[in-house]
Amino acid sequence: MKDLIRKILGIKEAKKTTANLLNNDILDYTVYNFNQTQFYLYYTISMLGGAFVASIFYGGLFKVDGAATLATTISNTVVMVAGAIIGARVAIPIFKKSLIDKRNMLIQLQFRDMLESLTSSITSGSNIEKAFGALENDMTAQFGKDGFMTIEVEQINQAYRNGIPVEQMLIDLGERTGNRDIKSFANVFSLIHSKGGDMRTIIRRTTDIITEKVAISEEIETSVTSNKMQHKIMTIAPIGIIALLKYSADMFASAFASMIGVVSMTVALVVFVVAYRMGEKIVDIK
């Protein structure tokens, strides 16, 4: 059923796993696939929203003396189906990006906690390999067996037992997450581990930087929350006003259904989309 819906809408589902250095299928954190509940929820919202907006902007065409004709019924059906398809194609990537961002924030928090545990182990005298071995139990206790860092540490230890250096697995983790902090740490770790250096200080400093970045991100998010809400309201409000005008007075409905009305509505729709995209970039402070 899900595959049929994707095929009809023309939406391709990317593979959510990729092979790591052990040739094990591991999660690709740059890709998000809905579970069954999310799939039907987000696709329903997207399609109904698209159909609703399309009917507001392009519904009610080909009326004669204010009365609906067969052509009106056919055009309304076509408009709503097209709107549902376009709505899904536009909204689904937005929903997925939002979920990926939330997951990546969780990964960053778990990675920070992992580094804190790693620092504690190294401070107590363990070498890198033993410290990562002890991490597996720590991560399981903190995040459970299905935690992101629990799985990653398990893979790192398995790789080490198979002769794959820890730094290579960290670099692979950075590539799969796309997280700049993890990539930077992996590169520094690789350099220090191969040439020698104060690993404890490096890990502690990295942990402090990530902690500071998370705190700043939370402050920024708190500061722009009201602006994001205003942006969403300002995006939806014009559509609501048009719907109110169109369905509250036949005069407005007839004007919107005319050739000039259709052109004007198309221009307005383009303006709404451009304004939404610009607003998203303004409130998306990194």
If you average pLDDT over every residue of the chain, what do you get?
84
Q: Per-residue pLDDT for 57 more than 80?
A: yes
pLDDT at 92: 92
Which residue(s) pair with 25 in the sheet? Answer: 19
**What gap in Å lies between CA 67 and CA 108, rounded to an integer?**
59
Q: How far is CA 238 from CA 191, 243, 276, in A?
A: 55, 9, 12
Q: If pLDDT is split at 50, 70 and 90, which confidence band does 286 have? A: low
> Does pTM surpass 0.85?
no
DSSP secondary structure letters along 98-117: HHHHHHHHHHHHHHHHHHHH
Closest CA to 158 of 191, 185, 133, 125: 133
**What gap in Å lies between CA 273 and CA 183, rounded to an integer?**
34
Read off the tokens for 253.
């409905």
